[in-house]
Amino acid sequence: MRIFRLSDPRNPDYTRAIRLGSWSAESVVCQACGAITQTRVPPLQIEYVAERRASIRGDFVWPGFDDDVALSPSAQSVLDGCSVIGWGRVEVSVDRKSRGRSSRRASAGDLLKDSSDLRELIVLGRATVDIGRSSIRLSLACNQCGARRYDLEGVERFTVDWDPRTRTALRKRLSRATGQGLFVYASEPTQFGVFRVQELPACILCTESVRSSIETAGLTNVAFLEYGELV
């Protein structure tokens, strides 16, 4: 079965959000590799960003770089049967520029009022990668702080090309290369369909069947990038 990364489609019709600082006070920078050891503390704090296009809240609200996501009640109910996830409280604010803004669609104030039902998706399940078979490479192993970083190649991804003629950035989707990506052992965490892997802690992964449930329910503002397979 194929696996996918849940990702922000960056659709300008949906309100964009940023993650605010809710991090542990003590941050240590490793002198050897520069890695910062700091953990995010709950609740997830997000801020909606003022944009020219009006505000529709998607079922998936992406405040970071696809590593954290907040879900609407409809999205929560689709994933609720999954025992390796939990739900976290979300605190929402609207940036000053959008506060007074009104539009034919929802105003920023309406968005704020409507957001008490958002919950952070907390993924508890960690699945194991078949490192030998996957196109994954250890790019940093620090013997001072123990940090390990991996690069993954050949998976589906978005790229941005600059078009000098129209002077606009064009976002393109590149397909997964045949036989490349992550090969993850089918196990307890993958059985429920939503999981992370130790090597790429920022990625929220799901199986093909979770993808179809999300698509069948018509949930909005989520893209599925093909990352690999269960083995």
Which residues contact Zn ion by CB under 5 A? 30, 32-33, 35, 142, 144-145, 147
| Shortest distance in whole angstroms from residue 141 CB to Zn ion | 9
Strands of the chain, DSSP E: 2-7, 17-19, 28-29, 36-37, 44-48, 60-61, 70-71, 85-94, 119-123, 126-127, 136-141, 148-152, 157-163, 168-174, 182-184, 194-197, 200-207, 223-230
Whose Cβ is closer to Zn ion: residue 40's or residue 148's? Answer: 148
| Shortest distance in whole angstroms from residue 30 CB to Zn ion | 3
Whose Cβ is closer to Zn ion: residue 29's or residue 170's? Answer: 29
Whose Cβ is closer to Zn ion: residue 35's or residue 106's? Answer: 35
| Shortest distance in whole angstroms from residue 201 CB to Zn ion | 16
> How far, in Å, are 93, 145, 209, 211, 214 from residue 2 at the CA level?
37, 34, 9, 10, 15
Whose Cβ is closer to Zn ion: residue 37's or residue 187's? Answer: 37
Cα–Cα nearest to 15, from 154, 229, 221: 221
Cβ-based neighbour number of residue 97 at 10 Å:
11
| Shortest distance in whole angstroms from residue 4 CB to Zn ion | 31
| Shortest distance in whole angstroms from residue 34 CB to Zn ion | 7
Whose Cβ is closer to Zn ion: residue 144's or residue 198's? Answer: 144
Total count of residues recorded for the chain: 231
